[in-house]
A and B are shown apart, each in its own frame.
Chain A
Amino acid sequence: MEALDRLSQLEADAPARIAAASDLESLAQIEAETVGKRSPLLEIRRGLGSLPDDQRREVGRRVNEVAQLLGSLIAQRRSILETAAMEEALRAEEVDVTLPGRRPPRGTRHLIDSIQQEVVDIFVSMGYTVATGPEAETEFYNFTALNIPYTHPSRLESDTFYLDYGEVPEGTLLRTHTSPMQARYMELNRPPVYIVVPGRVFRRDSDSTHTPSFHQIEGLAVDTDITFADLKGTLAHFARLFFGPDTKTKFIPHYFPFTEPSAEMHAYADGRWLELLGCGMVDPAVFGHVGYDPNQVTGFAFGMGVERLAMVRHGITDIRALYDPDLRILRQFR
């Protein structure tokens, strides 16, 4: 039984050789020599036909048995060697992951715009819409339509930028507030009106708390049954949404030519009471200018300084920082 002896010999020797294969190449070599084309196994299998019947079965069984055993050992070994090879390849690709990452370029929106958007969104969520008006405005809309008399100090050249444009007596100027849009919007729309007006405004002023231009958000609500209670509640609600749910507010009497009664809202923020915005019930004279009947409708209006909101909430003490283009400032506006 030479064939059976050779099989047993193979069964005894081959596993050690397979286990000793140190790389995929030598394993392939061993595979060829044990179960492959040049192996005793193939030789014996080819010779099966020439064996006597009684031996053929026995040898055939043994051939399959050894082939299966060695095949599985080789597969196992290959898997181990493949894994090791991949691990080594990966090890070669190792990098220092603590090196700075490759950040996609990303800029920042200006804080003024972020705050403006946040305020707008609060009011939009309450059913208001957005209107915007021209920065170069007529004296009529900036002052006259808002019941600001010709003698009012805010009309002085010391306070307002006038333009060499348009015709006297109703010349043009850089709007001193976003309020002109009250009149413009009401002229074009019938009540009810619920709008906010964000925008750039101008005053002839420059120091650590004033820049010649800054931003305001105007609000206007006109309907058949709006009262001072609505004004208080709505603006207090705004303050809570903007500064936090526990924000306290108080309203104190003030004066604006285009509202009556007029008030200032103060909010307790940053550990102190801060003047946050001016507001009031729309003055009947303003309704008169736009053709609304002050006996039929009532309304409230408010205006707040965007820079002020930004400064209060983010601890900015000099307004000029908001107009400094230094990247180290801009990158903080996240």
Chain B
Amino acid sequence: MKLTLDWLKDFVDVPVTDPADLVDVFESLGLEVEEWGRIEPTFSGVVVGKVLSVEPHPNADKVRLCTVDIGAEAPSQIICGAWNFDAGAIVPVAVPGAVLQGDFEIGRRTIRGVESNGMICSEEELGLGDDAAGIMVLDGDYPWAAEHIGADLAKLLPFPDAYYDLAITPNRPDCMSVYGVARELAAYYDLDLVEPRTDVTEVGPPSTASITITDADACPRFVAREVRGLVARRSPHWLRRRLQLAGVRPISNIVDASNYAMLEVGHPTHAFDMDRLGDRVVVRHATAGETITTLDGVERTLEPSDIVVADETRPVAIAGIMGGADTEVHDGTSRVLIEAAYWNPPSILLTSKRLGLRSEASARFERGMDPNFCDRAADRVAHLLQELADGAVAPPLVDEYPKPIAPRSILFDVAEVRRLLGIDLTVAEVTDLLRRLGFEVAGDGPLEVTVPTRRPDVTRPADLVEEIARLHGFDNIPDRVRTGTGGGLPTRERKLRKIRDVVVGAGYHEIATFSIIAESDLDALGLPEGNPARDAVAVSNPLNEEERLLRTTLVPGLLRALAVNESRQLKAIRLFEIGTVFMPGSGKLPEQPLRLGFVAGGQPEITWEGQGRTPDVFDATGLWELLAVELGVPQPAVRPHRSPVFHPGRCAEVLAMGTPIGTVGEVHPAVTERFGLTGRVVAGEIDLDELLLERTPWRFEPPSTYPPVIIDLAFAVDDDMPAAALTDTVRRAGGPFLEELTVFDVFAGGNLGQGRKSIAIRLVFRAPDRTLTDDDLVPIRTAIVEAVERTLGGTLRGAS
């Protein structure tokens, strides 16, 4: 909300010399200053002058010759091209030597043979408004002008001024006005608050307007005031300027009065053209399908939950949100009915949300206005119309208040201040702080605090503590470091850190991708209908129609990230993400397992030693093996797997204790192509649950000091026999002395015959307490060979 220091000074005598000082004050009160600035005159050397005579120019017919009293001994002769004034007008005169905005210096000039000693200025030329059509006539708008002929205009206008754009938190509807903010300042400085002028002179016969409220919960109070005999004209300059500085466009005095009053006192009002409105005003629920064309020209269809202001025939306003076009004030309006109501905030929010229609009024009513201010709000407008538009205020103030709202009373134990803030304030200090904010305080223990109805946010002792803290000053509360009573990193966190360390250590860079993906991402993965990853939870209000699914896999995000890097010519790309995926579950919430996803691809790096290696499936299984060891995964295993995402011959499932927990491998070329990738791409996705579990600490094994015995064995096995089957069998048969098993050669062809391959393994045997002999090893070797033959149909090819 934008307001000026000048306007604030109408209500409180702010004791600041530099407007910058007020920024900290606003902040300490919780009124965040989003922006502020000084307002300085954009002119100098402009004085108040009185036009003594206006004559035609002897040689030109578009300009006139004026003699102007500028307070000097002799009047000045000034040529002026504007026609909106006559002799007697009080006008701003830029005398020779004056400088207007844009460093435009005014001098003596001769125009068509006649000397002109300066310039009579328009609002626009003085930077005081956007009216450039005529000169600025001061006497109508500024009654003091006539008494200051020759005086410096800059000193008579509110300069220097400052504007502040305040962010008002939603709990403080009372601060959505100049008057409301002024009240905060008055409390801060402990100064008196000047009340807005609401005095009216009632004339003429009583108003015929009547109000009927059908739902007192939705509308506890409705005040109306009739003003007659209005003359529409432009509002005075000071008012227009205040509106403009507050970001509101001036329209005409009748409309401006309502806007001005809302900015000033906060409470929105609405003026109906009474000649277009029936006498019997009804506040009621809309009927289903009822329509109204609002001020913005849009026809809106209403529902019974909406509250409208209506006359006998039709709705004339959507309550608290926007008036109807039918009864809008226009240039010919002479009689208005001013509405100042109190609307139930949730009902305003509901309708405003449903219609997607928000206004300055709805923003205020949905937060809660002061029900006991309606009368003053109506008469603030009536007062302005009386002053600005020759309005005759009709008796009486029509006030329907079927459901009076009384101020709330809170019992307050001053000990709460110590308990919540950690400081000691006396009863007198607390009483003083609350009174300054306009709260009534009675008693001395506990205090009985009466909260004004403008403060819907204050309902409990804790709310009073906040008020006390705010006004006492957060800076005056000491700092104390509070340490916890326990603490420490839970296992899950420690394990997560370890996983990150392992993957980072393996050369992968962590990324963060979005959790919402598109159906087309799943298409690009080649997932058929019925694939579990297709069963995604949808977002009901996505930012765009395309991306509307919660990710069921991290892979598409990673592949897309890989493609971004590849398109930017980056090489040797290894990326990973640790993130949540979402799947329909059986409980109130979707299943949300945490996963590790990784990809590697792109052109290999070129170094002075040549080109690096392109990653393949064994980089993926190797990373899993490393993780399994580092995280102590029990019985980690790898077995061949088929997945539409992966290369059919280069994909593995990874297992812990026989349970599959992830898939790794080379991405199917059709999939990489759909993601715009070239070359081999390695990817994997592993559920982390198993890796995050606490494990019993590993036990130390002293290394044997005896020499090893090394045996190399090569087996011919069927082509499709996984190496893991062989190594598992050998390991089982190898007994306790088998210390190390390494596959060191795999080949097919040669004299092996069709459908066979050779796998060579090196076995290292060692005993902890002695040197092994042939007596030990011969039976072991025999057992291994037999086991391989029996269970795998493998034959020993040779030994050493």
Contact = CB atoms under 8 A, between A and B. Distances in A.
Interface of A: 99-100, 102, 105-110, 112-113, 117, 120, 123-124, 126-132, 134-138, 150-153, 156-157, 161-167, 172, 174, 192, 194, 200, 202, 204, 206, 211-213, 221, 223, 225-234, 236-237, 250-255, 260-264, 281, 283-284, 294, 298, 322-328, 330-331, 333
Contacts of B32: 252, 254, 264
Interface residues of B, number: 92
Given A124-B489, A325-B561, A325-B565, A253 B474 contact: yes
B799 interface: no
Nearest to B504: A107
20 contacts: A107-B505, A108-B510, A112-B512, A126-B481, A127-B484, A127-B486, A128-B487, A129-B490, A134-B589, A164-B538, A174-B515, A200-B579, A213-B515, A225-B419, A227-B418, A229-B479, A230-B480, A281-B465, A284-B460, A326-B564
A322 B561 CA distance: 13
Given A108-B510, A194-B486, A260 B463 contact: yes
Main secondary structure of the interface of A (DSSP, over half): mixed
A173 to B, nearest CB: 9
A253 B503 CA distance: 44
A130 B457 CA distance: 33
B353 interface: yes
A163 B515 CA distance: 13
A221 B462 contact: no
A136 B350 contact: no
Contacts of A109: 500, 504, 510
Contacts of A331: 509
Given A129-B490, A294-B462, A326-B565, 6 more contacts: A105-B507, A107-B508, A117-B497, A127-B485, A204-B541, A234-B482
Contact of A328 (B172, B418, B469, B570): B570
B350 A227 contact: no
A99 B608 contact: yes
B116 to A, nearest CB: 50
A280 B760 CA distance: 68
A156 B500 contact: no
A138 B540 contact: no
A292 to B, nearest CB: 14
Interface in B340-366: 345-346, 349-350, 353, 366
Contacts of B542: 161
B422 interface: yes
Contacts of A253: 28-30, 466, 469-470, 474
A4 to B, nearest CB: 56
User: Across chains A and B, which 4 residue pairs bring their CB atoms closest together, nearest first?
Assistant: A105-B507, A194-B484, A253-B30, A127-B484
Interface in B547-598: 550, 561-562, 564-565, 568, 570, 573-576, 579-580, 582, 584, 588-590, 592
B541 A228 contact: no
B488 interface: yes
B516 interface: yes
A129 B28 contact: no
B171 interface: yes
Contacts of A107: 503-510, 574, 576
B475 interface: yes
B477 interface: yes
A81 B562 CA distance: 59
Contacts of B508: 107
A150 B349 CA distance: 10
Contacts of B465: 260-261, 281
Contact of A129 (B172, B422, B486, B497): B486
A229 B562 CA distance: 49
Contacts of A99: 608
B27 interface: yes
Nearest to B468: A261
Contacts of B52: none
A111 to B, nearest CB: 9
B607 interface: yes
Contacts of B582: 135-136
